[in-house]
Amino acid sequence: MSSGALSPGEATEQLYQTGIHHLEEATQLTFLKNVYGGLLLSFGGLFSIIASAGCPGLDESNPGLVRLLQGITFPVGLVVVYFVGAELFTGYPMWLAMTALQRRGRPIEYVRGLAVSWLGNLVGALLVATSFSYLSNTLTEEPYRSGLVAEVTEDIVDAAWAVIFLRAIACGCLVTLAMFMGTQNGDGISKALGLHLPFFLATTARFPHTVKYMYYASAGMMMGAPLSVGGFLWKCMLPITLGNTIGGAVFTGAYNWWVFMYCEDQKAPDRFDGLDGGSDGGA
């Protein structure tokens, strides 16, 4: 196309190819790319905390404006992750849902990809939380410390498990939609906007993102948030990870597979044969 943008069907083909790549990717490469992705997205989180918590009086008089500040700043991390070729766990449910529906790969490859990406992101997020937020005293001073503690307390500690889970589904849908739009657009500015806008919606609504709360919750615990390690795993990571997985796999991965691959396959059964490249993806 003259604009350099892919059609939704062409972008779906690209996402499917990405899923095949992740099924076959070496474990150490998956881990390192996700460590770097967790680190970069956490820097976006650090930027968001400084921008929003740095105006403590604004939260009482104009809470919507504080949400907008978070929505504008946090997605910068996602844009950087995408541009440098790092990875985030939240993209894997979308990619792997498409490959699973195409009956590619083995179960162990799916388990490995999801587990290694999640652990890699956690390592990157903990590195930023400990070294660049706590030990560096970047967030230990007021009003940043109390702002982070208040947000973790409100969004995780005081929220019901089911509420966190439902909100995480919405985030999984929006963040994978951002990645879809980033894939769809060709030039740098369009890619950045495509990545930013859906994640802007998710961040403004404070829909929880797995890697965001790997960083927010761990840093908040260091700053004094009333959250234990057990609470971090059960009340924070479990519902957010499950919700993001369902949102990305169903609302973006399965939807695009059904509309642009399965339905089109009924009309042209050989359309996607060339995407397999003669490989069965380890099946």
Cis peptide bond prior to 143, omega within 30° of 0: yes
Mean pLDDT score, 29-45: 98
Q: What is the pLDDT of residue 186?
A: 83
Q: Which residues of 74-91 are buried (b: 16+ CB within 10 A; e: fewer)?
A: bbbbbbbbbeeebbbbbb
Tokens 């089911």: give the residue. Answer: 162
User: What share of the chain has pLDDT > 90, as a percent?
Assistant: 86
User: Does 38 have pLDDT greater than 60?
Assistant: yes
**276 half-sphere exposure, CB direction, 13 A CA radius:** 15
Structural domains of the chain sorted by starting position, each given as residue range(s) with its CATH number in brackets: 8-263 (1.20.1080.10)
Angle of helix 107-127 relative to helix 210-223, nearest 10 degrees? Answer: 40
Query: 74-117 pLDDT, tens per residue?
Result: 999 999 999 999 999 999 999 999 999 999 999 999 999 999 99
Query: 118-166 pLDDT, tens per residue?
Result: 999 999 999 999 999 999 999 999 999 999 999 999 999 999 999 999 9
Query: 251-271 pLDDT, tens per residue?
Result: 999 999 999 999 974 444 445
- Decide: 26 and 116 in contact? Cβ < 8 Å: no
Mean pLDDT of the chain: 92
Q: What is the pLDDT of residue 264?
A: 75
Mean pLDDT score, 226-239: 97
User: Does 36 have pLDDT greater than 80?
Assistant: yes
Whole-prediction pTM value? 0.90
Which range is least confidently modeled, 77-91, 182-196, 215-229?
182-196
Close Cβ partners of 4 (under 8 Å, ≥ 6 residues apart): 185, 186, 187, 190
Q: What is the pLDDT of residue 3?
A: 58
Mean pLDDT score, 222-240: 97
Q: What is the pLDDT of residue 276?
A: 52
Which token pair is 177? 């939609």
Q: What is the pLDDT of residue 29?
A: 98
